């Protein structure tokens, strides 16, 4: 089996707080890997280390065989990243945002227009490319952010709460495009979510963090069996391993995220 991502006792401390605690895991190429856990469990800190945005305190991690610290530039060429916070500029059009990201990813000038056109078509945004992003719906903004992150055809895509704050129709649309990205480009997906139905329907593997520690990992079916309840749902799995429900834990996060997005877009 080929692994696109591996960590070995990966740790991040913030003074006396251990945000990620000696975490070791591997993600196979082509997987949809879901990272679950309560708010403050270390999910975003882990993603920031894996995307080279935050240096580990100890331990190691590699993407495509490249060390995230010693070979950060090579890692960044292999990954796309859609953070929780808005990464699209509301004062630019969709096309202009993609032009900025094409430059940031150092895509050769001769290829930029074609890559932008392909990404817009892939995310069904072509007819909206000349509209200001502040006029986009929440689902369109998320699709644009995924389009930005896929411009350089990454082997591994990180998505931190990709559908938070979206209505069910927009969430389904985003996931349809994520599934298509994996099917057409062979992209490995690594995502976090508080929506357990997303983990249920999309994950080939899922891991659960609690206070920075990896406490469970496996397929959704394996994790359900571990609860001792043959009829368990992924909500039951989350409660079993973390001690709280995903819905209860995610309420503040979803509300805060929606308000931040509305404020940034001037709504």
Asked if 63 contacts 72 with a C-beta cutoff of 8 angstroms, the reply is no
CA distance 180 to 161: 18
CA distance 166 to 160: 14
Among candidate residues 37, 58, 62, the one with its CA nearest the CA of residue 215: 37
What is the pLDDT, as a whole number, of residue 164?
Answer: 86
Show the low-confidence residues of the chain (pLDDT under 50).
Answer: 251-252, 255-256, 259, 262-267
What is the pLDDT, as a whole number, of residue 251?
Answer: 47
Taking only the tens place, the pLDDT of each residue in 70-114 is 999 999 999 999 998 899 999 999 999 999 999 999 999 999 999
246-264 helix and 234-242 helix, angle to the nearest 10 degrees: 100
Asked if 249 contacts 39 with a C-beta cutoff of 8 angstroms, the reply is yes
CA distance 201 to 193: 12
What is the pLDDT, as a whole number, of residue 244?
Answer: 75
What is the pLDDT, as a whole number, of residue 59?
Answer: 98
Asked if 166 contacts 14 with a C-beta cutoff of 8 angstroms, the reply is no
CA distance 144 to 174: 10
What is the pLDDT, as a whole number, of residue 118?
Answer: 95
What is the pLDDT, as a whole number, of residue 102?
Answer: 95
Asked if 151 contacts 100 with a C-beta cutoff of 8 angstroms, the reply is no
Is 0.85 surpassed by the pTM of this model?
yes
Asked if 97 contacts 151 with a C-beta cutoff of 8 angstroms, the reply is no
Please determine, looking at this structure, whether the domain spanning 3-264 carries the CATH number 3.40.50.300. Answer: yes
Find how far residue 185's CA is from the centre of its chain: 17
What is the pLDDT, as a whole number, of residue 166?
Answer: 87
Asked if 4 contacts 28 with a C-beta cutoff of 8 angstroms, the reply is yes
Domain boundaries, the chain: 3-264
SS (HEC) of the chain: CCEEEEEEEEEEEECCEEEEEEEEEEEECCCEEEEEECCCCCHHHHHHHHCCCCCCCEEEEEECCEECCCCHHHHHHHEEEECCCCCCCCCCEHHHHHHHHHHHCCCCHHHHHHHHHHHHHHCCCHHHCCCEHHHCCHHHHHHHHHHHHHCCCCCEEEEECCCCCCCHHHHHHHHHHHHHHHHHHCCEEEEECCCHHHHHHHCCEEEEEECCEEEEEECHHHHHHHCCCCCCCHHHHHHHHHCCCHHHHHHHHHHHHHHHHHHHCCC
């Amino acid at each position: 089996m080929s692994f696109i991502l591996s960590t070995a006792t990966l740790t991040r401390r913030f003074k006396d707080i251990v945000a990620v605690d000696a975490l070791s895991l591997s993600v196979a190429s082509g997987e949809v890997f879901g990272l679950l856990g309560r708010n403050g469990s270390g999910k975003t800190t882990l993603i920031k280390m894996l995307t080279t945005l935050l240096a580990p305190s100890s331990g190691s991690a590699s993407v495509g065989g490249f060390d995230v610290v010693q070979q950060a530039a090579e890692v960044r060429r292999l990954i796309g990243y859609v953070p929780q916070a808005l990464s699209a500029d509301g004062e630019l059009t969709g096309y202009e945002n993609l032009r900025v990201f094409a430059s940031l990813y150092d895509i050769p000038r001769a290829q930029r227009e074609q890559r932008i056109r392909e990404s817009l078509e892939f995310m069904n945004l072509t007819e909206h490319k000349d509209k200001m992003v502040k006029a986009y719906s929440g689902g369109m903004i998320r699709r644009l952010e995924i389009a930005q992150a896929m411009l350089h055809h990454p082997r591994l895509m990180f998505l931190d709460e990709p559908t938070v704050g979206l209505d069910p129709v927009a969430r389904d649309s985003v996931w349809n495009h994520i599934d298509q990205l994996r099917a057409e480009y062979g992209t490995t997906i690594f995502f976090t979510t508080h929506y357990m139905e997303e983990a249920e329907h999309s994950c080939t593997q899922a891991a659960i963090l609690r206070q920075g520690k990896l406490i469970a990992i496996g397929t959704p079916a394996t994790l359900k069996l571990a609860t001792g309840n043959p009829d368990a749902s992924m909500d039951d799995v989350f409660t079993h391993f973390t001690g709280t429900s995903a819905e209860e834990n995610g309420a503040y996060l979803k509300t805060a995220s929606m308000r931040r997005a509305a404020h940034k877009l001037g709504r």
